[in-house]
Protein backbone atom coordinates (compact mmCIF):
# COMPACT_ATOMS: atom_id res chain seq x y z
CA UNK A 1 0.00 0.00 0.00
CA UNK A 2 2.88 2.32 0.82
CA UNK A 3 4.38 1.76 -2.61
CA UNK A 4 1.05 2.68 -4.26
CA UNK A 5 0.87 5.89 -2.27
CA UNK A 6 4.46 6.70 -3.16
CA UNK A 7 3.81 6.06 -6.85
CA UNK A 8 0.65 8.17 -6.70
CA UNK A 9 2.67 11.01 -5.25
CA UNK A 10 5.42 10.68 -7.84
CA UNK A 11 3.29 9.94 -10.95
CA UNK A 12 -0.21 11.35 -10.39
CA UNK A 13 -0.78 12.22 -14.07
CA UNK A 14 -0.09 8.70 -15.28
CA UNK A 15 -2.38 7.18 -12.70
CA UNK A 16 -5.02 9.76 -13.58
CA UNK A 17 -4.92 8.74 -17.25
CA UNK A 18 -5.24 5.07 -16.30
CA UNK A 19 -8.15 5.84 -13.96
CA UNK A 20 -9.99 7.68 -16.76
CA UNK A 21 -9.49 4.71 -19.08
CA UNK A 22 -10.82 2.30 -16.46
CA UNK A 23 -13.86 4.55 -15.89
CA UNK A 24 -14.54 4.73 -19.65
CA UNK A 25 -14.24 0.96 -20.03
CA UNK A 26 -16.54 0.39 -17.07
CA UNK A 27 -19.14 2.76 -18.53
CA UNK A 28 -18.91 1.10 -21.94
CA UNK A 29 -19.28 -2.37 -20.41
CA UNK A 30 -22.38 -1.31 -18.48
CA UNK A 31 -23.92 0.35 -21.53
CA UNK A 32 -23.38 -2.78 -23.61
CA UNK A 33 -24.48 -5.34 -21.01
CA UNK A 34 -27.14 -3.57 -18.95
CA UNK A 35 -28.14 -0.96 -21.51
CA UNK A 36 -28.20 -3.31 -24.50
CA UNK A 37 -26.35 -0.86 -26.75
CA UNK A 38 -24.12 -1.88 -29.60
CA UNK A 39 -20.40 -1.23 -29.19
CA UNK A 40 -20.56 1.66 -31.67
CA UNK A 41 -23.31 3.43 -29.72
CA UNK A 42 -21.73 2.71 -26.34
CA UNK A 43 -18.38 4.17 -27.38
CA UNK A 44 -20.11 7.24 -28.76
CA UNK A 45 -21.78 7.70 -25.38
CA UNK A 46 -18.46 7.59 -23.51
CA UNK A 47 -16.97 10.23 -25.82
CA UNK A 48 -15.03 8.22 -28.42
CA UNK A 49 -15.17 8.78 -32.17
CA UNK A 50 -17.47 6.09 -33.55
CA UNK A 51 -18.88 5.49 -37.04
CA UNK A 52 -22.36 6.96 -37.32
CA UNK A 53 -24.91 7.31 -40.10
CA UNK A 54 -27.87 9.52 -40.84
CA UNK A 55 -31.06 7.52 -40.12
CA UNK A 56 -32.77 9.17 -43.10
CA UNK A 57 -29.82 8.52 -45.43
CA UNK A 58 -27.82 5.41 -44.44
CA UNK A 59 -25.35 6.11 -47.26
CA UNK A 60 -24.15 9.17 -45.34
CA UNK A 61 -21.90 7.40 -42.85
CA UNK A 62 -18.70 8.38 -41.08
CA UNK A 63 -17.47 10.08 -37.90
CA UNK A 64 -20.41 12.48 -37.96
CA UNK A 65 -19.84 13.73 -34.41
CA UNK A 66 -16.26 14.60 -35.32
CA UNK A 67 -17.45 16.40 -38.46
CA UNK A 68 -19.77 18.46 -36.27
CA UNK A 69 -16.67 19.96 -34.64
CA UNK A 70 -16.32 17.76 -31.54
CA UNK A 71 -12.52 17.58 -31.86
CA UNK A 72 -12.06 16.54 -28.24
CA UNK A 73 -13.36 13.09 -29.15
CA UNK A 74 -9.98 12.33 -30.75
CA UNK A 75 -8.26 12.40 -27.36
CA UNK A 76 -11.24 10.75 -25.66
CA UNK A 77 -10.93 7.79 -28.03
CA UNK A 78 -7.79 6.72 -26.17
CA UNK A 79 -9.87 5.81 -23.10
CA UNK A 80 -12.16 2.93 -24.23
CA UNK A 81 -10.51 -0.29 -25.40
CA UNK A 82 -12.26 -2.83 -27.57
CA UNK A 83 -12.35 -4.84 -30.74
CA UNK A 84 -14.21 -4.94 -34.03
CA UNK A 85 -16.51 -7.67 -32.74
CA UNK A 86 -19.45 -7.82 -30.37
CA UNK A 87 -20.05 -10.01 -27.34
CA UNK A 88 -18.32 -10.92 -24.06
CA UNK A 89 -15.12 -12.07 -25.76
CA UNK A 90 -14.68 -8.65 -27.36
CA UNK A 91 -15.16 -6.88 -24.03
CA UNK A 92 -12.68 -9.24 -22.36
CA UNK A 93 -10.13 -8.48 -25.09
CA UNK A 94 -10.64 -4.77 -24.45
CA UNK A 95 -9.97 -5.15 -20.74
CA UNK A 96 -6.87 -7.24 -21.47
CA UNK A 97 -5.51 -4.57 -23.84
CA UNK A 98 -6.16 -1.92 -21.18
CA UNK A 99 -4.26 -4.00 -18.58
CA UNK A 100 -1.24 -4.27 -20.91
CA UNK A 101 -1.21 -0.53 -21.56
CA UNK A 102 -1.65 0.31 -17.88
CA UNK A 103 1.18 -2.00 -16.82
CA UNK A 104 3.60 -0.49 -19.34
CA UNK A 105 2.60 3.06 -18.43
CA UNK A 106 3.23 2.41 -14.73
CA UNK A 107 6.64 0.90 -15.48
CA UNK A 108 7.71 3.73 -17.83
CA UNK A 109 6.28 6.67 -15.88
CA UNK A 110 8.63 6.05 -12.96
CA UNK A 111 11.45 7.36 -15.15
CA UNK A 112 9.70 9.78 -17.51
CA UNK A 113 7.10 11.59 -15.42
CA UNK A 114 9.48 12.12 -12.51
CA UNK A 115 11.98 13.82 -14.85
CA UNK A 116 9.53 16.22 -16.52
CA UNK A 117 7.78 19.23 -15.05
CA UNK A 118 4.14 18.44 -14.30
CA UNK A 119 2.74 20.87 -16.86
CA UNK A 120 5.09 19.61 -19.57
CA UNK A 121 4.20 16.00 -18.89
CA UNK A 122 0.46 16.77 -18.95
CA UNK A 123 0.85 18.52 -22.32
CA UNK A 124 3.00 15.62 -23.51
CA UNK A 125 0.27 13.06 -22.72
CA UNK A 126 -2.43 15.17 -24.37
CA UNK A 127 -0.26 15.77 -27.43
CA UNK A 128 0.50 12.04 -27.62
CA UNK A 129 -3.22 11.28 -27.71
CA UNK A 130 -3.77 13.62 -30.66
CA UNK A 131 -0.53 12.74 -32.46
CA UNK A 132 -1.17 9.00 -32.33
CA UNK A 133 -4.89 8.97 -33.14
CA UNK A 134 -5.23 11.75 -35.73
CA UNK A 135 -3.38 9.94 -38.58
CA UNK A 136 -5.88 7.10 -38.44
CA UNK A 137 -8.87 9.44 -38.61
CA UNK A 138 -7.29 11.00 -41.69
CA UNK A 139 -7.35 7.47 -43.15
CA UNK A 140 -11.00 6.99 -42.09
CA UNK A 141 -10.22 4.43 -39.40
CA UNK A 142 -11.51 4.35 -35.84
CA UNK A 143 -8.69 3.58 -33.38
CA UNK A 144 -9.25 2.99 -29.68
CA UNK A 145 -7.09 2.62 -26.60
CA UNK A 146 -4.05 3.98 -24.82
CA UNK A 147 -1.65 2.16 -27.12
CA UNK A 148 -0.48 5.34 -28.85
CA UNK A 149 0.01 7.19 -25.56
CA UNK A 150 1.87 4.25 -24.04
CA UNK A 151 4.19 4.06 -27.05
CA UNK A 152 4.80 7.81 -26.81
CA UNK A 153 5.99 7.41 -23.22
CA UNK A 154 8.12 4.49 -24.40
CA UNK A 155 9.70 6.66 -27.10
CA UNK A 156 10.56 9.35 -24.55
CA UNK A 157 11.94 6.67 -22.22
CA UNK A 158 14.24 5.32 -24.94
CA UNK A 159 15.71 8.79 -25.48
CA UNK A 160 16.02 9.31 -21.73
CA UNK A 161 17.84 6.02 -21.30
CA UNK A 162 20.14 6.79 -24.22
CA UNK A 163 21.11 10.21 -22.88
CA UNK A 164 20.88 9.40 -19.19
CA UNK A 165 20.09 13.00 -18.32
CA UNK A 166 18.66 14.22 -15.97
CA UNK A 167 20.74 11.68 -14.12
CA UNK A 168 19.05 11.32 -10.74
CA UNK A 169 15.82 12.10 -8.90
CA UNK A 170 14.99 11.70 -5.23
CA UNK A 171 13.60 8.33 -4.19
CA UNK A 172 11.03 7.57 -1.51
CA UNK A 173 13.71 7.06 1.15
CA UNK A 174 15.59 10.26 0.41
CA UNK A 175 18.18 8.62 -1.83
CA UNK A 176 18.83 9.43 -5.46
CA UNK A 177 17.61 7.14 -8.23
CA UNK A 178 19.38 7.06 -11.58
CA UNK A 179 17.76 6.49 -14.96
CA UNK A 180 18.92 2.87 -14.90
CA UNK A 181 17.29 2.39 -11.51
CA UNK A 182 13.91 3.64 -12.71
CA UNK A 183 14.16 2.27 -16.24
CA UNK A 184 15.73 -1.19 -16.32
CA UNK A 185 16.47 -2.92 -19.59
CA UNK A 186 13.67 -5.44 -19.02
CA UNK A 187 11.04 -2.68 -19.14
CA UNK A 188 12.33 -1.29 -22.44
CA UNK A 189 12.57 -4.74 -23.99
CA UNK A 190 9.03 -5.59 -22.85
CA UNK A 191 7.74 -2.34 -24.29
CA UNK A 192 9.38 -2.91 -27.67
CA UNK A 193 8.10 -6.50 -27.74
CA UNK A 194 4.54 -5.27 -27.20
CA UNK A 195 4.89 -2.70 -29.99
CA UNK A 196 6.13 -5.19 -32.57
CA UNK A 197 3.74 -7.91 -31.40
CA UNK A 198 0.92 -5.49 -32.12
CA UNK A 199 1.62 -5.81 -35.87
CA UNK A 200 0.41 -9.43 -36.27
CA UNK A 201 -2.21 -9.04 -33.54
CA UNK A 202 -3.78 -6.14 -35.39
CA UNK A 203 -4.87 -8.57 -38.12
CA UNK A 204 -7.17 -10.27 -35.61
CA UNK A 205 -10.60 -8.69 -35.29
CA UNK A 206 -10.75 -9.64 -31.63
CA UNK A 207 -7.70 -7.53 -30.79
CA UNK A 208 -8.18 -4.45 -33.04
CA UNK A 209 -4.86 -2.92 -31.96
CA UNK A 210 -4.15 0.37 -33.79
CA UNK A 211 -0.64 -0.32 -35.10
CA UNK A 212 -0.28 3.02 -36.86
CA UNK A 213 -1.25 4.78 -33.63
CA UNK A 214 1.45 2.84 -31.78
CA UNK A 215 4.22 3.79 -34.20
CA UNK A 216 2.99 7.39 -34.48
CA UNK A 217 3.05 7.63 -30.70
CA UNK A 218 6.53 6.11 -30.58
CA UNK A 219 7.82 8.76 -32.97
CA UNK A 220 6.05 11.55 -31.11
CA UNK A 221 7.52 10.43 -27.80
CA UNK A 222 11.02 10.29 -29.26
CA UNK A 223 10.70 13.87 -30.57
CA UNK A 224 9.49 15.11 -27.19
CA UNK A 225 12.28 13.18 -25.48
CA UNK A 226 14.92 14.85 -27.66
CA UNK A 227 13.53 18.24 -26.61
CA UNK A 228 12.83 17.54 -22.95
CA UNK A 229 16.01 15.58 -22.18
CA UNK A 230 18.81 17.55 -23.87
CA UNK A 231 22.29 16.12 -24.19
CA UNK A 232 23.98 19.46 -23.51
CA UNK A 233 26.32 19.38 -20.50
CA UNK A 234 25.43 15.75 -19.96
CA UNK A 235 29.05 14.65 -19.52
CA UNK A 236 29.93 17.66 -17.35
CA UNK A 237 26.96 16.96 -15.08
CA UNK A 238 27.89 13.29 -14.76
CA UNK A 239 31.45 14.25 -13.85
CA UNK A 240 30.14 16.71 -11.28
CA UNK A 241 27.99 14.03 -9.68
CA UNK A 242 30.98 11.69 -9.60
CA UNK A 243 33.05 14.39 -7.88
CA UNK A 244 30.35 15.08 -5.32
CA UNK A 245 29.84 11.45 -4.43
CA UNK A 246 33.58 10.66 -4.57
CA UNK A 247 32.58 7.05 -5.14
CA UNK A 248 33.40 5.45 -8.45
CA UNK A 249 30.46 3.38 -9.69
CA UNK A 250 28.36 4.16 -6.61
CA UNK A 251 24.77 2.92 -6.53
CA UNK A 252 21.76 5.08 -5.86
CA UNK A 253 21.44 3.85 -2.28
CA UNK A 254 24.82 5.35 -1.37
CA UNK A 255 24.06 8.79 -2.75
CA UNK A 256 22.66 11.30 -0.28
CA UNK A 257 19.73 13.42 -1.41
CA UNK A 258 21.44 16.61 -0.28
CA UNK A 259 24.27 16.01 -2.74
CA UNK A 260 22.28 17.85 -5.37
CA UNK A 261 19.65 16.18 -7.50
CA UNK A 262 17.52 17.08 -10.49
CA UNK A 263 14.52 19.25 -9.77
CA UNK A 264 12.29 19.86 -12.81
CA UNK A 265 11.20 23.31 -11.63
CA UNK A 266 14.83 24.46 -11.31
CA UNK A 267 16.26 22.71 -14.35
CA UNK A 268 15.65 25.52 -16.82
CA UNK A 269 17.06 28.21 -14.53
CA UNK A 270 20.16 26.19 -13.72
CA UNK A 271 21.12 25.22 -17.25
CA UNK A 272 19.94 28.28 -19.12
CA UNK A 273 18.10 26.23 -21.76
CA UNK A 274 14.62 26.43 -20.24
CA UNK A 275 13.35 28.99 -22.73
CA UNK A 276 14.65 27.02 -25.69
CA UNK A 277 13.13 23.79 -24.41
CA UNK A 278 9.76 25.47 -23.82
CA UNK A 279 9.81 27.10 -27.28
CA UNK A 280 10.61 23.86 -29.10
CA UNK A 281 8.08 21.95 -27.04
CA UNK A 282 5.37 24.50 -27.83
CA UNK A 283 6.26 24.57 -31.54
CA UNK A 284 6.04 20.78 -31.72
CA UNK A 285 2.52 20.86 -30.31
CA UNK A 286 1.43 23.69 -32.60
CA UNK A 287 2.21 21.40 -35.54
CA UNK A 288 -0.65 19.20 -34.34
CA UNK A 289 -3.22 21.94 -34.93
CA UNK A 290 -3.49 21.62 -38.75
CA UNK A 291 -3.56 17.82 -38.58
CA UNK A 292 -6.41 17.89 -36.08
CA UNK A 293 -8.18 20.51 -38.19
CA UNK A 294 -8.13 18.30 -41.29
CA UNK A 295 -9.27 15.29 -39.26
CA UNK A 296 -12.31 17.31 -38.16
CA UNK A 297 -12.75 18.93 -41.60
CA UNK A 298 -11.80 16.31 -44.26
CA UNK A 299 -12.25 18.59 -47.25
CA UNK A 300 -11.24 15.84 -49.70
CA UNK A 301 -14.25 13.66 -48.76
CA UNK A 302 -17.46 14.07 -50.70
CA UNK A 303 -19.46 12.69 -47.80
CA UNK A 304 -18.19 15.51 -45.59
CA UNK A 305 -19.52 18.18 -47.98
CA UNK A 306 -22.78 16.25 -48.30
CA UNK A 307 -23.01 16.20 -44.50
CA UNK A 308 -22.48 19.97 -44.39
CA UNK A 309 -25.12 20.53 -47.06
CA UNK A 310 -27.80 18.84 -44.99
CA UNK A 311 -27.40 21.44 -42.27
CA UNK A 312 -27.20 24.40 -44.65
CA UNK A 313 -30.25 26.71 -44.78
CA UNK A 314 -29.12 28.73 -47.81
CA UNK A 315 -30.23 26.85 -50.98
CA UNK A 316 -27.42 28.29 -53.10
CA UNK A 317 -24.79 27.33 -50.58
CA UNK A 318 -26.35 23.90 -50.19
CA UNK A 319 -26.25 23.32 -53.96
CA UNK A 320 -22.60 24.38 -54.05
CA UNK A 321 -21.74 21.88 -51.31
CA UNK A 322 -23.56 19.16 -53.22
CA UNK A 323 -21.56 19.96 -56.36
CA UNK A 324 -18.33 19.69 -54.40
CA UNK A 325 -19.55 16.43 -52.90
CA UNK A 326 -20.20 14.73 -56.25
CA UNK A 327 -16.93 16.11 -57.60
CA UNK A 328 -15.00 14.56 -54.71
CA UNK A 329 -16.86 11.23 -54.68
CA UNK A 330 -18.77 10.62 -57.91
CA UNK A 331 -19.88 7.17 -56.73
CA UNK A 332 -22.19 8.65 -54.08
CA UNK A 333 -25.87 8.45 -54.95
CA UNK A 334 -27.66 10.78 -52.55
CA UNK A 335 -25.89 14.04 -53.49
CA UNK A 336 -26.64 13.50 -57.19
CA UNK A 337 -30.34 13.01 -56.51
CA UNK A 338 -30.52 15.97 -54.14
CA UNK A 339 -28.72 18.21 -56.63
CA UNK A 340 -31.02 17.15 -59.46
CA UNK A 341 -34.01 17.74 -57.18
CA UNK A 342 -32.68 21.22 -56.36
CA UNK A 343 -32.51 22.20 -60.03
CA UNK A 344 -35.93 20.71 -60.71
CA UNK A 345 -37.55 22.68 -57.90
CA UNK A 346 -36.09 25.85 -59.39
CA UNK A 347 -37.58 25.00 -62.77
CA UNK A 348 -34.16 24.26 -64.28
CA UNK A 349 -35.17 21.04 -66.00
CA UNK A 350 -32.22 21.12 -68.42
CA UNK A 351 -29.69 21.32 -65.58
CA UNK A 352 -31.57 18.64 -63.67
CA UNK A 353 -31.37 16.43 -66.80
CA UNK A 354 -27.63 17.01 -67.13
CA UNK A 355 -27.09 16.30 -63.43
CA UNK A 356 -28.98 13.02 -63.45
CA UNK A 357 -27.17 11.85 -66.61
CA UNK A 358 -23.82 12.67 -64.98
CA UNK A 359 -24.98 10.61 -62.00
CA UNK A 360 -25.61 7.61 -64.25
CA UNK A 361 -22.24 7.75 -65.99
CA UNK A 362 -20.11 6.39 -63.09
CA UNK A 363 -22.92 4.25 -61.65
CA UNK A 364 -24.82 2.36 -64.31
CA UNK A 365 -26.77 0.28 -61.81
CA UNK A 366 -28.39 3.37 -60.28
CA UNK A 367 -32.11 2.52 -60.34
CA UNK A 368 -33.27 5.69 -58.59
CA UNK A 369 -31.41 7.86 -61.09
CA UNK A 370 -32.89 5.88 -64.00
CA UNK A 371 -36.39 6.44 -62.64
CA UNK A 372 -35.64 10.11 -62.13
CA UNK A 373 -34.35 10.45 -65.70
CA UNK A 374 -37.45 8.77 -67.08
CA UNK A 375 -39.62 11.19 -65.14
CA UNK A 376 -37.67 14.14 -66.47
CA UNK A 377 -37.90 12.93 -70.07
CA UNK A 378 -41.67 12.54 -69.77
CA UNK A 379 -41.86 16.18 -68.72
CA UNK A 380 -40.12 17.66 -71.77
CA UNK A 381 -43.08 19.13 -73.69
CA UNK A 382 -41.64 20.76 -76.82
CA UNK A 383 -39.56 19.29 -79.66
CA UNK A 384 -36.78 21.78 -78.85
CA UNK A 385 -36.55 20.53 -75.25
CA UNK A 386 -36.49 16.92 -76.38
CA UNK A 387 -33.84 17.58 -79.03
CA UNK A 388 -31.68 19.35 -76.43
CA UNK A 389 -32.15 16.41 -74.05
CA UNK A 390 -31.08 13.96 -76.79
CA UNK A 391 -28.02 16.07 -77.57
CA UNK A 392 -27.05 16.07 -73.87
CA UNK A 393 -27.50 12.31 -73.80
CA UNK A 394 -25.01 11.99 -76.69
CA UNK A 395 -22.55 14.36 -75.01
CA UNK A 396 -22.58 12.51 -71.67
CA UNK A 397 -22.56 8.89 -72.87
CA UNK A 398 -20.84 9.16 -76.25
CA UNK A 399 -20.71 5.76 -77.93
CA UNK A 400 -22.97 4.25 -75.27
CA UNK A 401 -25.79 6.65 -76.11
CA UNK A 402 -27.92 4.10 -78.05
CA UNK A 403 -27.95 1.69 -75.12
CA UNK A 404 -28.88 4.43 -72.67
CA UNK A 405 -31.52 5.83 -75.01
CA UNK A 406 -33.10 2.40 -75.17
CA UNK A 407 -32.87 1.90 -71.42
CA UNK A 408 -34.51 5.24 -70.69
CA UNK A 409 -37.22 4.69 -73.31
CA UNK A 410 -36.23 7.70 -75.43
CA UNK A 411 -37.29 7.54 -79.11
CA UNK A 412 -34.99 8.61 -81.92
CA UNK A 413 -37.38 11.36 -83.03
CA UNK A 414 -40.70 12.89 -82.04
CA UNK A 415 -42.91 10.63 -84.19
CA UNK A 416 -43.67 7.74 -81.81
CA UNK A 417 -44.71 9.59 -78.71
CA UNK A 418 -46.45 6.76 -76.92
CA UNK A 419 -46.26 3.01 -76.75
CA UNK A 420 -49.53 1.41 -77.84
CA UNK A 421 -50.79 -1.75 -76.20
CA UNK A 422 -52.09 -4.83 -77.91
CA UNK A 423 -55.71 -3.61 -77.72
CA UNK A 424 -54.84 -0.28 -79.37
CA UNK A 425 -54.94 1.70 -76.11
CA UNK A 426 -51.95 4.05 -75.47
CA UNK A 427 -50.04 3.15 -72.34
CA UNK A 428 -49.47 6.78 -71.46
CA UNK A 429 -45.70 6.53 -71.51
CA UNK A 430 -45.33 10.20 -72.36
CA UNK A 431 -47.76 13.02 -73.13
CA UNK A 432 -46.04 15.30 -75.69
CA UNK A 433 -47.92 18.50 -74.95
CA UNK A 434 -47.87 18.33 -71.14
CA UNK A 435 -46.01 21.13 -69.34
CA UNK A 436 -43.29 20.10 -66.87
CA UNK A 437 -44.63 19.74 -63.34
CA UNK A 438 -41.73 19.78 -60.84
CA UNK A 439 -43.92 18.46 -58.04
CA UNK A 440 -44.52 15.16 -59.80
CA UNK A 441 -40.76 14.53 -59.94
CA UNK A 442 -40.20 15.21 -56.24
CA UNK A 443 -38.00 12.72 -54.40
CA UNK A 444 -40.13 13.18 -51.31
CA UNK A 445 -42.64 10.74 -52.78
CA UNK A 446 -42.01 7.12 -53.65
CA UNK A 447 -41.22 6.38 -57.26
CA UNK A 448 -44.10 4.39 -58.75
CA UNK A 449 -43.81 3.97 -62.47
CA UNK A 450 -47.28 2.43 -62.82
CA UNK A 451 -48.90 5.40 -61.07
CA UNK A 452 -46.99 8.00 -63.09
CA UNK A 453 -47.03 6.47 -66.53
CA UNK A 454 -50.15 4.32 -66.46
CA UNK A 455 -50.38 0.61 -65.89
CA UNK A 456 -49.49 -1.56 -68.89
CA UNK A 457 -52.35 -3.51 -70.45
CA UNK A 458 -53.05 -6.93 -69.01
CA UNK A 459 -52.00 -9.51 -71.60
CA UNK A 460 -54.24 -12.16 -70.04
CA UNK A 461 -53.32 -15.79 -69.36
CA UNK A 462 -50.71 -17.37 -71.62
CA UNK A 463 -51.94 -19.43 -74.58
CA UNK A 464 -51.69 -23.20 -74.22
CA UNK A 465 -51.99 -23.91 -77.95
CA UNK A 466 -48.91 -25.23 -79.76
CA UNK A 467 -47.45 -22.97 -82.46
CA UNK A 468 -47.88 -24.01 -86.09
CA UNK A 469 -45.41 -26.51 -87.45
CA UNK A 470 -42.67 -25.21 -89.72
CA UNK A 471 -41.23 -28.14 -91.74
CA UNK A 472 -38.16 -26.08 -92.69
CA UNK A 473 -37.17 -25.40 -89.06
CA UNK A 474 -35.39 -28.09 -86.99
CA UNK A 475 -36.73 -26.46 -83.82
CA UNK A 476 -40.34 -27.04 -84.87
CA UNK A 477 -42.06 -30.33 -84.08
CA UNK A 478 -45.54 -31.68 -83.65
CA UNK A 479 -46.93 -34.74 -81.97
CA UNK A 480 -48.50 -37.20 -84.36
CA UNK A 481 -49.84 -40.67 -84.55
CA UNK A 482 -47.70 -43.55 -85.68
CA UNK A 483 -48.98 -44.91 -88.91
Q: In the predicted model, what is the mean pLDDT of the chain? A: 77
CA 263 to chain centre: 42
pLDDT at site 165: 62
pLDDT at 177 over 80: no
Residue 53 β-bridge partners: 61
Per-residue model confidence as pLDDT tens digits over 45-90: 999 998 888 777 888 889 999 999 999 999 999 998 877 666 777 7
Average pLDDT over residues 316-338: 93
pLDDT for 178 equals: 74
Distances in Å between the Cα of 453 and the Cα atoms of 23, 349, 405, 420, 426 are: 61, 19, 18, 13, 10
In this structure, of 112-126, 159-173, 353-367, 429-443, the range with the lowest mean pLDDT score is: 429-443
Q: How far apart are CA 116 and CA 122, in angstroms?
A: 9
Report the predicted TM-score, pTM, of the whole model to 2 decimal places: 0.74
- State yes or no: pLDDT of 308 exceeds 90: yes
Residue 20: band (very low, low, confident or very high) from pLDDT cuts 50, 70, 90:
very high
Backbone angles phi, psi at 170, to 5 degrees: -70, 135
CA–CA separation, 106 and 288 (whole Å): 26
Neighbours of 90 (CB within 10 A): 18
Position 302 scores a pLDDT of 93
Distance between CA 97 and CA 83 in Å, rounded? Answer: 10
pLDDT, tens only, 123-168: 999 999 999 999 999 988 888 889 999 999 999 999 988 887 655 5
Q: Write the Ramachandran bin of 32: left for phi over 0, alpha for psi from -120 to 50, otherwise beta.
A: alpha
- Our CA angle for 336, 341, 342, nearest 5°, is 100
* CA atoms of 377 and 410, how far apart (whole Å): 8
Hey, is 78 helix, strand or coil?
coil
Please state, in angstroms and rounded to a whole number, the distance separating the CA atoms of residues 219 and 156.
9
Report the alpha-carbon distance of residue 411 to residue 401 in Å, rounded: 12
Quick one: pLDDT at residue 357?
93
> What mean pLDDT comes out for the span 266-292?
75
For residues 166 and 191, what is the distance between their CA atoms, to the nearest angstrom?
22
What pLDDT, on the 0 to 100 scale, is given for residue 468?
A: 62
Is cis: bond before 166, omega within 30 of 0? Answer: yes
Residue 54: predicted pLDDT: 76
pLDDT tens digits, 402-434: 888 888 888 876 544 444 444 544 444 444 434
Beta bridge partners of 62: 52
Report, as an integer, the average pLDDT of 368-392: 89
Amino acid sequence: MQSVITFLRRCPLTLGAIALAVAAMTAETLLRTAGGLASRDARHRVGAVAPRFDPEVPELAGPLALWEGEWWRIAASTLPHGSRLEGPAAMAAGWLWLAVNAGLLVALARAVETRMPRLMYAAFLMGAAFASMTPLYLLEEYPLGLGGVTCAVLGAALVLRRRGFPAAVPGKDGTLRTVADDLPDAVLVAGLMVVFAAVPLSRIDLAAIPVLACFAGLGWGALVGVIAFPARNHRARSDRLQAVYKIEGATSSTRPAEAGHYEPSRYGRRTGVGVRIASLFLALHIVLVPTVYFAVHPLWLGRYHWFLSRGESDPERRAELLRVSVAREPMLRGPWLELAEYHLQRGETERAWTTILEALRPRRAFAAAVDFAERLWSGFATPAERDAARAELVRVFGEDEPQWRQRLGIPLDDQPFAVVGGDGTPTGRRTPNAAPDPSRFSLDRAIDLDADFGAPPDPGPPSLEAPPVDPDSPDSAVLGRRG
